[in-house]
Structure formats: C-alpha cells, structure tokens
Amino acid sequence: MRGRTAWVAAGGAAALVLTTATGAHAEGRGDIRVVKTVVNGGGNVIVGTSKTIRYPIDITVKDNSGVKGLTHVSTFSKTLLYTFADWNDDSSCTKKSTTTSVCRATMTIDPAWIADSDDIDSNRLAGVWQVNATVKANDGDYWISDDIAEYKVKRAAQLTTVIAPGKVAKGAAVTVTGKLSRANWEDRKYHGFPGQQVRLQFRKKGAARYGTVRTVTTDGAGKLSTRVTVTSAGSWRWYFPGTTTTSMRVSAGDALDLK
C-alpha cells in the first residue's frame, strides 16, 4: 500500500431489486425509468498523460409526468469499483416528448488525479467501466439504476514510423522501423508496449487506401523493425488495432520515392 486514497464508487440499489432493460439492479418509486444510455457518443474514452478529458453520458429517461432531471451519476471500473472520473453535478435535459427527455451529464478526467485512484497500480482501471444514475420525474417519482451502460476507458497509445533511406531504386530492400508506446497513468509518461502485433501497411502513390503487408510483434522496448522490398513509390505506416485496455493507433505515413 502506498498511502493513497482510492476513489470507491458508491453502488445504487439495495432494497427493492428489479431487473430492467438497461439496469442490472434498480430501486425507486413510480413509473420513471431509464430507457437508454449512450457514453461518449458510443466511442471509447481515451486518456493520456496530460490532457484533461471531458465526455458526455446521455441518459434517456421516461415518466408519465415528464422528466425533472438527474440527481446522481457515477461511472467506475466494473471489476475494481474505483473511479477517477468526476461529475460536477451539472446536467441538462432535452425534452423529446411530454414523457421523455434525454439528460446529459459531463464527466471529467484529469490525468493528474489518476495515480491516486488505486493503491496498487492505477493502470489496472483501464478496461470496462459501468454507469450508475439516479433520475427524477416532475411528480416526485425517482429511480436508482445500476449498470445502465458499459464502455471502455483506455490508455492512450503512440506509434511512429521511420523508413530509411527515403529514396531508393526499384527492387531495393529498405528497413521500416517504429515504436509503439502507451500512457502509464502512474508516472504520466509513455513507455514502450512489448509483445504487441502491429500491422505494416503500404499505400501506393496516387492510391486512396493503405493495405496490410505484414504483421510484426513489438520487442521488449516496444520497438518495431522489418525489411521490405520496394516495388513502387508510396507511403508506409504502422497500424495498431488496440486492446481492451489500450487505444487503437495509426502512425503518420512515411513517404518513399523511387530514384
């Protein structure tokens, strides 16, 4: 233990336990329900080492008297139940009908906070997160819902490509190198990501798309290296598809011309 304060997420329902379409466990009063939840527009939340991240949680709520708003929103690691995402109690609701509104809560993640979220290793929190929320209707009905949505919070990745030399004769062999690294939330630096399969891709000059040439595994320092035979001018790049805990990344293309 390192004397840190772990941010433990508070659970929702405890008394009347029911099953709903969007919440594993819920309790409340009346006919108000959460009918849909979308986090970050349906995309992953990617967190690096310095930039503060803000992302929306859009919760569709329905009640016969109309929707008053959100009184609680929390999101946290599904396995560890810790969080480093903060809701400032600000929300807005857009009325879709007399009974239904979409209410938005904005979450904030500052990488400077993350290391204090886990006493062992804050990087363990990357992966699947869940959302809990309490919603309220105009007639006083309320509903406390657990696990109304799941999404992934991932460590940001970086990827480089270097091809040398930059101009060769047709049929020559060249070396394409690069490095895959990912954010370490403990020291807020990027470190090489070993043992990962990364695709080397090529786009012929004048073509619209890249195609995969081969797959290379990063070494112990996250470095990549392979030899290719040049048949035409074009651009080379590396493509990393990502993992459950680390973001997808595509390097900038490095152009190669023929003599």
Same domain, 218 and 229: yes
* Average of per-residue pLDDT across 104-121: 95
Same domain, 106 and 161: no
Same domain, 97 and 146: yes
CATH of the domain at 58: 2.60.40
Domain containing 35: what range?
A: 25-154
CA atoms of 41 and 60, how far apart (whole Å): 13
Could you say which of 108, 133, 154 is where a domain stops? 154
Same domain, 142 and 192: no
List, in sequence order, every residue forming a beta bridge with 150; answer none if it has no partner: 130
Give the pLDDT band of residue 97 (cuts 50, 70, 90). very high
Same domain, 114 and 182: no
pLDDT in tens, 190-243: 999 999 999 999 999 999 999 999 999 999 999 999 999 999 999 999 999 999
Same domain, 143 and 164: no
CATH of the domain at 180: 2.60.40.730
Give the pLDDT band of residue 9 (cuts 50, 70, 90). low
Quick one: DSSP state of residue 8? B
Give the pLDDT band of residue 2 (cuts 50, 70, 90). very low
H/E stretch holding 60: strand 53-62
Give the pLDDT band of residue 16 (cuts 50, 70, 90). very low
Same domain, 33 and 110: yes
Residue 78 located in a structural domain: yes
Task: Report the domain count for the chain.
Answer: 2
Same domain, 150 and 187: no
Give the pLDDT band of residue 8 (cuts 50, 70, 90). low
Same domain, 129 and 236: no
Residue 4 located in a structural domain: no
What are the C-alpha distances in Å from 200 to residues 67, 192, 195, 241, 246? Answer: 51, 18, 15, 12, 19
Same domain, 113 and 167: no
Three-point CA angle 79, 24, 57, nearest 5°: 75
CA atoms of 95 and 91, how far apart (whole Å): 13
Same domain, 148 and 113: yes
pLDDT exceeds 90 at position 101 = yes
Could you say which of 121, 154, 187 is where a domain stops? 154
